[in-house]
Amino acid sequence: MASKYPWYSRAADLTHRVTVLALVGATLYMSGAVVYTLWSNGRENKQRLEVERTRRAAIAEQQRISEAPSQSNE
């Protein structure tokens, strides 16, 4: 059974297909890594902001409590 194309055309076609698949695969992999990194950092920032809000609320409450007796003594 004779092949329709010469060996070098088939080799070039195979090389091209492997290259394209590797580029597409690497692009999908890296895109997934970027999406995961953005999601992970967003989640960490949300947690950090929640801790900061809680800390500031506690400081404000402590200041309110510490100022209340000094105002009643005056």
How sure is the predictor about 68, in pLDDT bands with cuts at 50, 70 and 90? confident
Non-local CB neighbours of 13 within 8 Å, separated by 6+ positions: 5
Q: For position 3, what pLDDT does the model report?
A: 73
What's the predicted TM-score (pTM) here?
0.60
Report domain extents, the chain.
30-67
**Could you give the CA distance from residue 61 to residue 64 in angstroms, rounded to a whole number?**
5
Q: Is the pLDDT of residue 62 over 80?
A: yes
3-55, pLDDT tens digit by residue? 799 999 999 999 999 999 999 999 999 999 999 999 999 999 999 999 999 99
Could you give the residue ranges of the DSSP H alpha helices within the chain? Answer: 7-73
